[in-house]
């Protein structure tokens, strides 16, 4: 099993080649290839590599499939005995990214 843990948009995400992930919106068009370079950890069948904090010369190549919006979250605030209520909603802008490969020092993993 080959995987990498990367940092993207303030979160740490476990990624594997051939799978897609919903990340916070990335400034790229649909179908565009992106390169994510903040790799914290790589594990393949032979070895484990841990970054300090990131691994040099490592990257994850992915393709932006489409942009979408996440599910709606309702925020309700209330102050008791004051008749003060507020109800808001939020939908996060997301990008669906297909991970094509994990690369380390020119070696495709």
First-residue to last-residue Cα distance in the chain: 10
- The number of beta carbons lying within 10 Å of the beta carbon of residue 34 is 18
pLDDT at residue number 109: 59
Q: What is the pLDDT of residues 63-74, one digit of tens each?
A: 999 999 999 999
Residue 45 — very low, low, confident or very high, per pLDDT cuts 50/70/90?
A: confident
Average pLDDT taken over every residue of the chain = 93
Instruction: Give the CA distances from residue 104 to residues 18, 70, 71, 83, in Å, rounded to whole numbers and listed in that order.
Output: 17, 32, 35, 59
Mean pLDDT of 47-52: 90
- The number of beta carbons lying within 10 Å of the beta carbon of residue 51 is 16
Tokens 């802008």 found at: 93
Mean pLDDT of 42-53: 90
Q: Is the pLDDT of residue 106 over 60?
A: no
Mean pLDDT of 84-93: 97
Percentage of the chain with pLDDT > 90? 82
Q: Is the pLDDT of residue 39 over 70?
A: yes
pLDDT at residue number 1: 83
């Amino acid at each position: 099993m080959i995987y990498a843990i990367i940092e993207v948009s303030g979160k740490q995400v476990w990624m594997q080649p051939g799978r897609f992930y919903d990340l916070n919106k990335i400034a790229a068009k649909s179908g565009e290839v992106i390169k994510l370079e903040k790799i914290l950890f790589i594990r393949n069948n032979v070895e484990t590599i841990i970054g300090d904090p990131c691994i040099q010369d490592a990257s994850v190549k992915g393709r932006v499939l489409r942009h979408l919006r996440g599910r709606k979250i309702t925020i309700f605030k209330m102050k008791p005995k004051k008749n003060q209520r507020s109800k808001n909603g939020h939908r996060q802008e997301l990008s669906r990214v297909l991970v094509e490969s994990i690369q380390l020092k020119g070696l495709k993993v």
